[in-house]
Amino acid sequence: MNSYDGSSSARGHARPTGHSGPTGHSGDGGPGFGGDRHWQATGDGMGGWPNNGGGYGDQPAAPRGSTSGGRASVPTASASVQSSSASGAASVPPPAGRAGVGRASAAVPSGSSSSGRASVGSASVGSASVGSASVGSASVAGVAGRAQVGRASVGSGPGGPGGPGGPGGNGPGGPGGPGGRGRSGGSRPKRTRKRKLINWAIAGFAVLVMVAGAGLVGGTYYTTNVVVPDQVDLPLATTIFASDNKTQIAKLGEVNRTFVSINQIPKYVQYAVASAEDRKFYEHSGVDYVGIARAAWNNFTGGDKQGASTITQQYARNAFDNLQGVTYARKLREAVMASKLNDEYSKDQIMEMYLNTIYFGRGAWGIEAASQGYFGKSVSKLTPAEGAVLAAVIKQPQPSETHKGYDPGYNPEAAQERWGYVLQGMVEKTWLPPEQRPTEYPTKSLKPLPKDGTCFTDCGVNTPLGNVINYVHDEMIGMKIPGCDAKSCSQLIKDGGFKIRTTIDKNMQNDLQDAIWRKKAGSELAKQPKNIMAAGVAIDPVHGRVLAYFGGDNGTGHDYAGKNVEGGALTGGHAPGSSFKIYTLAAALNNNISLDSRWDATDYDVPGTKIKVINAGRQPSCAKSCTLRQSTVSSYNVPFYHIADKLGADKVIEMARNAGVTTMWTNNPVKPYDLTNKNTKIGESDPFYYVVGYGAYPITVLDHANGLATITNRGVYNKAHFVMSVEQKNAAGAWIKVGGEQLKPKQTIRQDVADDVNDVLQEISGGLPGGRPATGKTGTWELNEKSSDNAHAWMLGATPTLATAIWVGNVAKEQALIDDDGDKIQGASLPKDIWKRFMTDALKGTDVDRFKPGTHIGDKEAGNGTPVQPQNGVCFPGDQACLAAQGGNAGGNPGDNGGRRGRDNNGPGNNQPPNPNTNPFTIVPPPGG
């Protein structure tokens, strides 16, 4: 089946702020380790303001120690130097240089965050003044600007210690030249009136920004209709598991995200994120107005572009498409949304939404996917050290052109430095006791970077189990899961966040692939000609669970084991040949025909037609007195034609339908018929003719395996299925079952009928190693009416606990099936080799189960043959001694299941040599057949 790959929908997507793809980053860009901004990506992703503020995206600010433009008039002899918002005069946010007044200088240590004052010489760091010196101008220059007061300046490099004649910054009088003459310590000089006015003006500007911002937010709050998160549908990845509920088969979705509730996220992980992105998160009302004022002033003065987005604002911007872009209107809407979120939700709820939304790199959206991607474990099992790694990553998960980001796989030094910054913040905020602060970076538990081509979403589609996804899709529609109908289920599976447990047994699946997959070294197909393809299905007969499935290399190509839609037409069937006789035999027994009944097995010309039914060029020694048992084991065609003629084709097809065959194709023209549809009538005037008795019409491998499983289960039908359970998380983050298998066993074939079929089929397979009983039936269908080569070859066989169907055919256009030794491929050759190898491996170490004995029901006189009296040295047809002599299923040579260099169950037998000019299977049926 190749129906996967439903169209995507425009749903609410969480994506990294500042970038449309996984290379972006989300976060406010907090200070670097040690309290200073040693690197800052100042685009809108960092909460920067537009126009005079930062751009949108990964736009890094200048590193520490550089200078950038911007001036501000500071008409006093005072300059405060700080790394964050604090009291003082002209704000110089990042590391300061030195302040010189006249020819004196005051050194200010790099990274200082003091908000006190300092006079030159013995004055305190923060302002420098000399008497009532008149003030020139002050420029606030980027990370380390310059402030000019007369001849005073704030240098661009780290300053030396203050004091008389102490060394200055990197400017004149710094380490590269003589130190300026410091002013002797003493009382602080008197402020001038002009200086006070400027200070009041600066404070007023900040207050104005805060008041205006709060006012605009407040006004817009009541006039704007803004949706809240319960109206946002974030896509969540769906994971499909094997029956052990641990082995991942596939992961589907537009993004790799698994939702987790706040209760599943350790508190220290939450605190680590707050420490990295918003240390006032638990204090502010969703918008940090002080931070906005600081950023606005700094941007207004031309300084380093700063951001002020809180965690709440970041979530709003990531979750809602209408909050993207670089405008004041967008920032206002973001603030409104943050305020509403803060009113509508608790801090824990906001943190939960945020941590399930943001991008962490490595293809991981949300904290759970990130935990799996970085440490291979659930977030609930993270240590404080590991949680801090993930928190540190948020600022920039992946490398950009200007910075390598904070994934330790790309940039270990920066990642560890920011890790330390996160932990230090946790200690400072009393979120982490100092004695519990990790001292060792969790390198040992950290996973390496994913290899190129690593699958994050839609994983498993391009594997043999990709075909299982299509069945999962169809079964989920039948479960009536809300929102999962024929039109929308493809998309819902991709972003609905389901956890689906399938019936696939991981060990049996591996055993089947080892035996049947060409790409597996040592498989039965590994050295076969390239045109040869194989498919196989193994089913648990008791429950109908598909335990192993192989329909091809991947789920996007042709499924050789199931149905396909190609060019609008339903395809996928293969002519089953003699393997279909299990249903004809069951139909005969169901209509009181005994295994001991005798039938005419000689060539038969159908009256009124040009049809001649033959036995693959063989002339059976039992001639006109072959028992039904012998005809089954030796796979004679003529008796099965007579049975279908006697019962009617509809009775044979009805038995196949009862067993589990759902679809059958006619040959000319090729057309599928739904056997489960009550409107599909089968009769003499309908498209299927009596040649159905020996397998003229194509069916799928899956249906054939299901039919065999029903007979194996003593006539109790269980629909073959792939899904055991479907779970989805509720609002509390707990997994709840929303769908699953609905076992409805039904006795569709009489128990005594099934027992007699199993009784005779055990004579064909010869059993498995260790004396394990097994049923079996082979089948072939020839290439065309002019060729004796085969185009399809089958082996069906089962134990009471495992029923398997194997088909071998062509990849594309039908060709003769010739193996690597140049021999004709038949049911008892390559298909049987695959079947026996798989069954032996799959059942290794399990108990030996036996079938119930047959009851030998039916009328022995129901056949059209005549009894033959035994003669000396001649066996009586139907006796066990006769069966081996006749060559049988695996011994008939060339038979429809002929011998192959001694590997067959029986010897070469006494069958007649083949007639190369005859074809027993592709006899042209009446029109419509």
Question: For residue 725, what are the CA distances in angstroms to 461, 476, 730, 737, 739?
Answer: 20, 10, 16, 7, 6
CA gap 203, 103 in Å, rounded: 30
Instruction: Please provide residue 617's backbone torsions phi and psi, each rounded to the nearest 5 degrees.
Output: 80, 5
> Residue 136 corresponds to which tokens in the numbers above?
């020139």
CA gap 742, 170 in Å, rounded: 79
Give the number of other CB atoms < 10 A from CB of residue 915.
15
Looking up tokens 């260099």 gives 901
> Residue 456 corresponds to which tokens in the numbers above?
């994050």
User: Is 866:875 a contact under the CB 8 Å cutoff?
Assistant: no
Q: Which pairing describes strands 532-540 and 545-550: parallel, antiparallel, or unpaired?
A: antiparallel
> Residue 769 corresponds to which tokens in the numbers above?
């190693």
CA gap 153, 145 in Å, rounded: 9
> Residue 66 corresponds to which tokens in the numbers above?
């550089």
CA gap 75, 72 in Å, rounded: 10
150-164, 781-795, 889-903: range with lowest mean pLDDT: 889-903
Is the bond leading into 745 cis (omega within 30 degrees of zero)? no
**How high is the mean pLDDT of the chain?**
75
pLDDT digits (tens, 9 = 90+) for 394-452: 999 999 999 999 999 999 999 999 999 999 999 999 999 999 999 999 999 999 998 87
If we measure between CA atoms, which residue out of 927, 864, 924 comes closest to residue 691? 924
Q: Which residues pair with 104 in a beta bridge?
A: 101
880 or 368: which leads in pLDDT: 368
Q: pLDDT > 70: what percent of the chain?
A: 64
CA angle 415, 419, 423 (to 5 degrees): 175
> Residue 59 corresponds to which tokens in the numbers above?
């736009």
pLDDT at 452: 73
Looking at residue 322, the DSSP 8-state letter turns out to be: G
CA gap 682, 686 in Å, rounded: 6
User: Is 804:798 a contact under the CB 8 Å cutoff?
Assistant: yes
pLDDT digits (tens, 9 = 90+) for 854-871: 999 999 999 999 876 655
Mean pLDDT of 221-249: 73
Question: For residue 6, what are the CA distances in angstroms to 326, 379, 707, 839?
Answer: 34, 31, 31, 36
pLDDT at 868: 64
Is residue 181 over pLDDT 70? no
pLDDT digits (tens, 9 = 90+) for 201-224: 555 555 555 555 555 555 544 444
Catalytic residue ranges: 277, 578
Question: For residue 442, what are the CA distances in angstroms to 390, 405, 827?
Answer: 11, 18, 58
Number of alpha carbons in the 13 Å side-chain half-sphere of residue 584: 32
pLDDT at 211: 53
Looking at residue 103, the DSSP 8-state letter turns out to be: T
CA gap 282, 346 in Å, rounded: 10
49-58, 239-248, 410-419, 514-523: range with lowest mean pLDDT: 49-58
CA 921 to chain centre: 45
Core vs surface per residue 163-187: b (16+ CB within 10 A) or e: beebbbbbbbbbeeeebbbbbeeee
Instruction: Please provide residue 470's backbone torsions phi and psi, each rounded to the nearest 5 degrees.
Output: -65, -40
| pTM strictly above 0.95 | no
Domains in the chain, CATH or no CATH each: 77-191 (no CATH), 212-232+261-436 (1.10.3810.10)
Residue 2's pLDDT band, with cuts at 50, 70 and 90, is: low
If we measure between CA atoms, which residue out of 584, 596, 575 comes closest to residue 641? 584
Is residue 140 over pLDDT 60? no
CA gap 280, 287 in Å, rounded: 10
